[in-house]
């Protein structure tokens, strides 16, 4: 058996001592990432009954799982015929099914996958677009950052086309080349843009979350 590197051993020790990992295990959540979303959503009360939510880069499903649970709780006791929220998730990786979540397996960069996602929406406009997409890391910033920004551009394009006026876009970004330009583009499209780093996001990680609220009818 190959001996684990010191960095691998350090990561495993940190992972299993992580309070959010322990909390996710205790509460039956698929990933610690659910607690990043929980903080971001609850701070600004982003979820409402009957919303259409799309989760890009969803696997293993922590975000979709948390949103579906929250929508179910909000919608409990609503009268028959009341509009119920929809949760649509997509990822290049397979994701075990979640009750109440429509999942599309495929590469979001492919036009055919995007077309299937639009078919799943059945003409409905989206209220909230979530993107936790990230490329497979090579360890080289000169490669990883452009890949990450390309995915972010695709997510923005999706929100441009499918998010309703007044809707909200929440996306993970990595600080580096292209970050400032991307945030400027968000400010042209949304009434309010904030950069957040939730407590569950590891401090050494360059990831932050851009919360863009109030999609404008026209780009500034």
Strand-pair category, 86-91 with 52-56: parallel
C-alpha–C-alpha distance, residues 103 and 83, integer Å: 20
**Total residue count of the chain as it appears in this document:** 220
Q: Which of 49, 52, 51, 58 lies closest to 155 in space, CA to CA? A: 58
141: annotated binding-site residue? no
80: annotated binding-site residue? no
Is residue 172 part of the annotated active site? The answer reads yes
Residue spans of beta strands (DSSP E) within 19-80: 52-56
Catalytic-role residue among 172, 197, 215, 220: 172
132: annotated binding-site residue? yes
C-alpha–C-alpha distance, residues 27 and 62, integer Å: 12
Q: Answer for the pair 20, 46: CB distance below 8 angstroms, yes or no.
A: no
Neighbour-count burial of 159, counting CB atoms closer than 10 A to its CB (0-12 exposed, 13-18 middle, 19+ buried): buried
Q: Give the contacts of 163 (CB within 8 A, at least 6 positions apart).
A: 125, 126, 127, 129, 169, 215
- Both tokens of residue 197? 């780093």
178: annotated binding-site residue? no
181: annotated binding-site residue? no
Annotated binding site: 61, 63, 91, 107, 132
Annotated binding site for S-adenosyl-L-methionine: 61, 63, 91, 107, 132
Active site residues: 172
């Amino acid at each position: 058996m190959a001996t684990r590197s010191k960095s691998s051993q350090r990561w495993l020790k940190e992972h299993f001592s992580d309070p959010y990992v322990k909390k996710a295990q205790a509460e039956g959540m698929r990933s610690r990432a659910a607690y990043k979303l929980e903080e971001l959503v609850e701070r600004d009360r982003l979820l409402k009954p009957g919303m259409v939510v799309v989760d890009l880069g969803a696997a293993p499903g922590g975000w979709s799982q948390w949103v579906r649970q929250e929508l179910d709780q909000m919608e409990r006791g609503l009268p028959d015929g009341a509009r119920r929220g929809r949760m649509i998730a997509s990822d290049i990786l397979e994701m075990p099914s979640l009750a109440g979540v429509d999942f599309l397996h495929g590469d979001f960069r492919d036009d055919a996958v995007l077309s299937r996602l639009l078919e799943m929406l059945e003409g409905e406009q989206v209220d909230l677009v979530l993107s936790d997409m990230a490329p497979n890391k090579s360890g080289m910033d000169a490669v990883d950052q452009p890949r990450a920004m390309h995915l972010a551009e695709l997510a923005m394009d999706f929100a441009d086309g499918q998010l309703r006026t007044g809707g909200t876009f929440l996306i993970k970004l990595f600080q580096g080349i292209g970050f400032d330009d991307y945030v400027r583009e968000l400010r042209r499209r949304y009434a309010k843009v904030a950069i957040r780093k939730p407590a569950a996001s590891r401090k050494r990680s360059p990831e932050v979350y851009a919360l863009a609220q109030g999609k404008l009818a026209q780009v500034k």
